[in-house]
Structure 1
Amino acid sequence: MRLYHGSNVVIESINLAMCRPYKDFGKAFYLTDIEEQAKQMAKRVSRIYGGSPVVNTFEIQDDFRKMSDIKIKDFGIQTTEEWAKFVMNNRNRTFTDETNILCNKDNKYDIVIGPVADDNMALLFRQYENEIIDFETLLKGLIYKKTSSQYSFHTEKGIRLLRKADD
């Protein structure tokens, strides 16, 4: 299986220390199985930080989900209540219950797979956190959103499954 990472630099080796915290699934190296999505992210990153868009391609064996020593949280492709709580907890700088199964700030999962929370979803999350809307309204706003895919690698154990593709 091929996974793509949009950036403004060529990535030969993945350094988890360079990854930013408070992302959808926590601090991790993020990829997608949708090449066009990675191209758009590369353009966005280049606009923000300079440089030229680069799509880094990695390979992972197709049956990685069956490996017994890798902890994987797979939300599928649909936004759900569980997914929404997980994303909100990981993005929230004041959320401290790291033992909660709906949080990955402690890297309890080596890999997390699921939809991307886009800017419109982020607005809904902020409205909920600021008590402008209730949780049911938040969920209704997420249900029909077209989502894209992300794979986040949180641990060295997970990162070791990735191989730089020879393009």
Structure 2
Amino acid sequence: MMLYHGTNIDIQSIDLASCRPYKDFGRGFYTTDLLEQAQKMAKRVSRIYGGNPIVNLYEIDDNYMKNKELKIINFGTIPSEKWAVFVMNNRNRTFIDFKSLDCNFDYKYDIVVGPIADDDMAILFRQYQNNLISLQALLNGMTYQKTTSQYSFHTEKAVSLLKKVGVLQ
């Protein structure tokens, strides 16, 4: 399977320590199987930080999900309550229950797969967390959002499965 990472640099090697915390699935290296999504991210990153949009291309064995040495969680392609709780916890700078299965602060998952929580989703999350909308309203709002996909790699063991095959500029 081909995965893409949109940014403003040609990544020679993946450095997990330089990845930002408080992302949807925790600190990690994020990719997508959708080239158009990676291209949009590359444009966004280059607009914010300068440089030119670059999409790094990676291959991963199609059977990576069967690897018994990895702990993988796959939320599928449709936002769900379980996915929403996981994302809210990972984005929450005050969340402290690191041992919870509903977060990845302690890198309990090597790889996490699921939809991206875009800005519209983030607004819904804040409304829910501030008790402005009910859980049902949150779920209803998620149902009508266009979702995308992300594959995040959180450990060196997981990153080692990615084989860089090129860049698109």
Q: TM-score range by the shorter chain?
A: over 0.9
What is the deviation of 1:144? 2.3
What is the deviation of 1:135? 1.8
Q: What is the DSSP-based 3-state SS (H/G/I as helix, E as strand, rest coil) of the residue aligned with 1:165?
A: strand
CA distance in 2, matches of 1:139, 1:96: 25
CA distance in 2, matches of 1:39, 1:166: 14
Q: CA RMSD in A?
A: 0.9
What is the deviation of 1:127? 1.1
TM-score by length of 2: 0.96
Give the corresponding residue for 1:29. Answer: 29
Aligned length: 167
Task: Extract structure 1 runs of 4+ deviating beyond 2 A.
Answer: none
CA distance in 2, matches of 1:51, 1:135: 41
Give the corresponding residue for 2:162. Answer: 162
CA distance in 2, matches of 1:126, 1:42: 26
CA distance in 1, matches of 2:132, 2:75: 27
Give the corresponding residue for 1:122. Answer: 122
What is the deviation of 1:166? 3.9
- Mapping 1:6-155, distance limit 5 Å: 6-155=6-155
Supply the AA of the counterpart residue of 1:47.
R
CA distance in 2, matches of 1:165, 1:59: 7
CA distance in 2, matches of 1:153, 1:104: 11
Q: What are structure 1's unaligned runs of at least 5 residues?
A: none
Q: Could you tell me whether the CA contact under 8 Å between 2:7 and 2:53 is conserved in 1?
A: yes
User: Sequence identity of aligned pairs in percent?
Assistant: 61
Supply the AA of the counterpart residue of 2:93.
R
What is the deviation of 1:132? 1.5
Supply the AA of the counterpart residue of 2:83.
W
Q: Residue by residue, what CA displacement relative to the aligned partner does 1:64-118 show, whole Å, maximum 9, x if unpaired?
A: 0001001100001010000000000000001111111111111100000000001
Supply the AA of the counterpart residue of 1:53.
P
What is the deviation of 1:137? 1.2
CA distance in 2, matches of 1:26, 1:133: 25
Supply the AA of the counterpart residue of 1:56.
N
CA distance in 1, matches of 2:74, 2:116: 13
Q: What are structure 2's unaligned runs of at least 5 residues?
A: none
